[in-house]
C-alpha cells in the first residue's frame, strides 16, 4: 500500500493550546472522565491480552500515545497504563524495577508541545519524547512499539472529502458544515473518507507495532444501527452551522465562506471499526466494550460545558477558515442557542467505546 500523500495530511489543526480560559487544558473535563472510566478496562486488557513474551522482548517498553493534545489527560492515561504494566510484570514473578518505559507523545505539528512538556511531572517513571505528525502516516520504525494508546482522536479525519467542497459534484454540502443531516452523497463521501483513513491508520500501525503488541483505542461515536442524523455530533454541529448562517445573514461572514466550510469529524460505530480491522487483517480484536456515560461536574451547567468544549476543540478550524475576528461572537451565540434548547444535545445518541487490538504474528 502506498503511504498517505502529504496533501492529505495538510489539514492539521490542534486543540487550543496554553492554559487560558478557552484552552483545551482547561476544557477537557469530559475527556478526563473517560480516562477515569477506562482505567479498569485498560488494566484488564493488559492483564489478559498482553503476552509475557512481548513484555520480555526488550528491557525498554515503548508506548505511543497518539493524538495526545495538551493538558493533563494524556499523563493520567500513561500513568494508568504503566500501573497496569507493572502489575502484570509483578504477577509474573518478575522484578518490575528493571523494566524501563519510553513514552512517545504524538500530535499534529501545531499542537502546543511546549505547554505539554511544561506539565510533565519531574518524578515521572518514564522517558518522554514528542513525535509531531499525523497518525495517518508512519511515525515510528518497523516493529519498534509494544503498545499504542489513543483516546478521542480517531474521529478526526485526515481531511474533508474533496467532493464535499466542490460545487460541481453531487456531494457539494451547500449551507451545512457537517455531513450527517445532509444528502446521501455527502454521507457516503464521509463514510468513504473514514474507511480510507482507517485503512491507512491500521496499515502503518501494523508496521510499527511488534508482534503480540497491543493497540488500545478509545473512540467516541454512535451506537450500531444509529442513523448519522440521530447522533449527538450531528446536533452539536447543526447548531454551530446555524450560528454561522446567522453571521452570514448579518453580513459578518459571506454565505459562500460558510458553504465551503466543513468539519472533518466522522461519527463511527463499533461495527465500522470492526469491519476496518477485519479488512486490514493484521490485528485480532481482543474486545470492543462500551464505556459508561461520563457524568459532567456539578459546578457548571451542561450547556456551558458543551460550549466551552466545542470552542477548545473547534476554534482552530474556525479561525483558519473565517479568521479570529468572529470567534467570540460565534461561540457566544453558540452557547446562547444551547441554552435556548438545553435538551437538544442530550437527545442525540452518543457512545464511547474501547477497542483492544493485538498485532498478529
Three-state secondary structure along the chain? CCCCCHHHHCCCCCCCCCCCCCCCCCCCHHHHHHHHHHHHHHHHHHHHHCCHHHHHCCCEEEEEEECCCCCCHHHHHHHHHHHHHHHHHHHCCCCHHHCEEEEEEEECCCCCHHHHHHCCCCCCCCEEEEEECCCCCCCCCCCCEEEEEEECCCCECCCCCHHHHCCCCCCCCCCCCCCCCCCHHHHHHHHHHHHHHHHHHHHHHHHHEEEEEEEEEEEEECCCCCCHHHEHHHHHHHHHHHHHHHHHHCCCCCHHHHHCCCCCECCECHHHHHHHHHHHCCEEEEEEEECCCCCCCCCCCHHHHHHHHHHHHHHHHHHHHHCHHHHHHHHHHHHHHHHHCHHHHHHCECEEEEEEEEECC
The pTM for the full model equals 0.90
Q: Please give the pLDDT value at position 17.
A: 54
Q: Please give the pLDDT value at position 130.
A: 96
Task: Please provide the average confidence, as pLDDT, over all residues in the chain.
Answer: 88
| Mean pLDDT, range 269-282, rounded to an integer | 98
CATH superfamily of 6-359: Vaccinia Virus protein VP39 (3.40.50.150)
Q: What is the pLDDT of residues 78-108, one digit of tens each?
A: 999 999 999 998 888 877 677 899 999 999 9
| Mean pLDDT, range 113-119, rounded to an integer | 87
Amino acid at each position: 500500500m502506498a503511504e498517505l500523500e502529504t496533501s492529505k495530511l495538510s489539514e492539521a489543526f490542534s486543540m487550543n493550546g496554553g492554559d487560558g480560559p478557552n484552552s483545551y487544558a482547561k476544557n477537557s473535563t469530559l475527556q478526563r472522565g473517560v480516562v477515569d472510566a477506562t482505567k479498569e478496562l485498560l488494566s484488564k486488557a493488559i492483564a489478559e491480552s498482553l503476552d509475557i513474551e512481548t513484555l520480555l522482548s526488550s528491557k525498554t517498553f515503548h508506548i505511543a500515545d497518539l493524538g495526545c493534545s495538551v493538558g493533563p489527560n494524556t499523563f493520567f492515561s500513561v500513568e494508568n497504563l504503566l500501573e497496569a504494566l507493572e502489575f502484570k510484570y509483578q504477577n509474573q514473578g518478575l522484578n518490575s524495577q528493571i523494566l524501563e518505559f519510553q513514552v512517545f507523545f504524538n500530535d499534529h505539528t501545531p499542537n502546543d508541545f511546549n505547554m505539554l512538556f511544561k506539565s510533565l511531572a519531574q518524578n515521572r517513571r518514564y522517558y518522554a519524547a514528542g513525535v509531531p505528525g499525523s497518525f495517518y502516516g508512519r511515525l515510528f520504525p518497523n516493529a519498534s512499539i509494544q503498545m499504542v494508546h489513543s483516546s478521542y482522536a480517531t474521529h478526526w479525519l485526515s481531511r474533508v472529502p474533496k467532493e464535499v467542497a466542490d460545487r460541481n459534484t453531487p456531494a457539494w454540502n451547500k449551507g451545512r458544515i457537517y455531513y450527517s443531516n445532509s444528502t446521501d452523497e455527502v454521507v457516503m463521501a464521509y463514510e468513504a473518507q473514514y474507511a480510507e483513513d482507517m485503512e491507512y491508520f491500521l496499515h502503518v500501525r501494523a508496521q510499527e507495532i511488534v508482534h503480540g503488541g497491543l493497540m488500545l483505542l478509545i473512540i467516541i461515536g454512535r451506537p450500531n444501527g444509529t442513523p448519522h442524523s440521530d447522533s449527538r455530533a450531528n446536533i452539536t454541529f447543526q447548531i454551530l452551522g446555524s450560528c454561522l448562517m446567522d453571521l452570514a445573514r448579518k453580513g459578518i461572514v459571506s454565505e459562500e465562506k460558510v458553504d465551503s466550510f466543513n468539519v472533518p469529524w466522522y461519527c463511527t460505530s463499533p461495527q465500522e471499526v470492526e469491519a476496518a480491522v477485519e479488512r486490514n487483517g493484521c490485528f485480532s480484536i481482543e474486545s470492543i466494550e462500551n464505556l459508561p456515560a461520563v457524568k459532567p461536574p456539578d459546578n457548571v451547567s451542561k450547556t456551558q460545558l458543551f460550549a466551552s468544549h466545542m470552542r477548545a476543540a473547534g476554534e482552530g478550524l474556525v479561525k483558519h477558515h473565517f479568521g479570529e475576528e468572529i470567534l467570540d461572537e460565534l461561540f457566544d451565540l453558540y452557547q446562547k442557542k444551547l441554552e435556548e434548547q438545553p435538551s437538544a444535545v442530550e437527545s442525540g445518541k452518543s457512545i464511547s467505546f474501547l477497542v483492544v487490538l493485538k498485532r498478529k504474528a
